[in-house]
């Protein structure tokens, strides 16, 4: 391993990076920092989820993310590299009974001792041996059950996984693979949400027509929402029941307001019912009386 470079021989000291605090510096650092944060956060959250499943416990992902963010900032002030959860070491810890903070402390102290005290022996380890160790760790930590269930998985999820792996292998850049996976997942989610909003109508025969709206109402599903409402009664009242719906953004508020105004132009009274707390708060923030009855 010594042919790859030299290892530190002493503990690091506190030193603020000697770079100018300018917008130019920020422009250089920000893309790299954002990429590291994205990849590190995703890997940490996935590792925490996997460990929770293996141990049957529940961890606070917000605390984990904040702690790692603070630790990475402090590490940078000592000349260290940013880091995140290590799936291989975490799985080895759990497999061998390491469940608490002591296991991570021992791992850190052991690595420190190898670098500072046993460095002459450490650099004699052939790089090929380390590659073999990483292959064994990869084989041990890989979820082989996911391969067996690949056919049963939704095609969208399979496509995202294959695209992420493919881009990572071709570009040799994990961040690009993760970015492609995140974008594809967002598009798949938007496509699913766009199809989830439904509108059905019931007529009580006494001049009240009720439209039942179900599903999340966001910009992708709110597009075309007014066209899903048919004509109102010749005279009387229209009720838009949102008990089974959730209003997520201002586009949904605008779509509902467009529906309300269309019925009002026909001389009909329009009432919205069933708004939950968050939906009512959103419609109130977007336009205080935009969805009120008339």
CB 54 within 8 A of CB 94: yes
**Structure tokens, 56:** 């049957």
State how far the alpha carbon of 117 is from the alpha carbons of 11, 105, 109, 130, in Å. Answer: 12, 17, 11, 20
CB 242 within 8 A of CB 213: yes
Residue that has been written with the tokens 């069933």 in this structure: 274
Query: How far is 220 from 154, CA to CA, in rounded Å?
Result: 21
According to DSSP H, which parts of 172-275 are helical?
A: 174-196, 219-222, 250-264
Residue that has been written with the tokens 């990869």 in this structure: 138
Sheet holding 269-273, edge to edge: 198-203, 208-217, 237-247, 269-273
* Domain edges within the chain: 2-140, 143-196, 197-286
Query: How far is 115 from 119, CA to CA, in rounded Å?
Result: 5
Q: Would you give per-residue pLDDT tens digits along the chain (294 residues)? A: 556 667 777 788 888 778 888 999 999 989 888 888 888 888 888 888 888 888 888 888 899 899 989 998 888 888 888 888 887 778 778 877 877 788 888 888 988 888 888 888 888 888 888 888 888 877 777 777 777 777 777 777 888 888 988 998 899 887 788 888 888 988 888 888 777 788 888 887 787 888 898 888 888 877 778 888 887 777 788 888 888 888 888 888 888 888 888 888 888 888 888 877 777 776 665 444 445 554
| CATH architecture designation of domain 197-286 | 2-Layer Sandwich (3.30)
């Amino acid at each position: 391993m010594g042919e790859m470079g030299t290892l530190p021989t002493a503990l690091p000291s506190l030193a603020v990076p000697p770079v100018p605090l300018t917008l130019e510096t920020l422009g250089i650092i920000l893309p790299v920092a954002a990429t590291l944060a994205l990849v590190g956060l995703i890997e940490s959250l996935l590792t925490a989820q996997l460990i929770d499943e293996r141990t049957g416990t529940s961890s606070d992902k917000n605390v984990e993310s904040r702690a790692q963010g603070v630790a990475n900032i402090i590490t940078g002030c000592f000349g260290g590299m940013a880091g995140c959860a290590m799936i291989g070491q975490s799985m080895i810890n759990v497999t061998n009974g390491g469940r608490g903070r002591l296991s991570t402390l021992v791992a850190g102290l052991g690595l420190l001792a190898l670098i500072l005290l046993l460095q002459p022996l450490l650099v004699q380890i052939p790089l090929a041996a380390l590659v073999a160790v990483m292959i064994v760790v990869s084989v041990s930590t890989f979820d082989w059950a996911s391969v067996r269930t690949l056919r049963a998985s939704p095609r969208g999820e399979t496509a995202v996984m294959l695209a992420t792996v493919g881009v990572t292998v071709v570009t040799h850049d994990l961040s690009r693979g993760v970015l492609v996976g995140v974008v594809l997942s967002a598009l798949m989610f938007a496509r699913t949400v766009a199809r989830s909003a439904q509108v059905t109508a019931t007529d009580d025969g006494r001049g009240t027509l009720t439209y039942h709206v179900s599903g999340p109402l966001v910009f992708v599903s709110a597009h075309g929402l007014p066209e899903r409402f048919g004509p109102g009664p010749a005279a009387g009242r229209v009720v838009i029941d949102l008990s089974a719906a959730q209003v997520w953004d201002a586009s949904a508020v605008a779509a509902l307001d467009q529906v309300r105004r269309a019925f009002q132009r026909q001389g009909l009274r329009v009432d919205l019912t069933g708004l939950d707390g968050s939906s009512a708060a959103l419609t109130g923030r977007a336009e205080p009386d935009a969805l009120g009855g008339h």
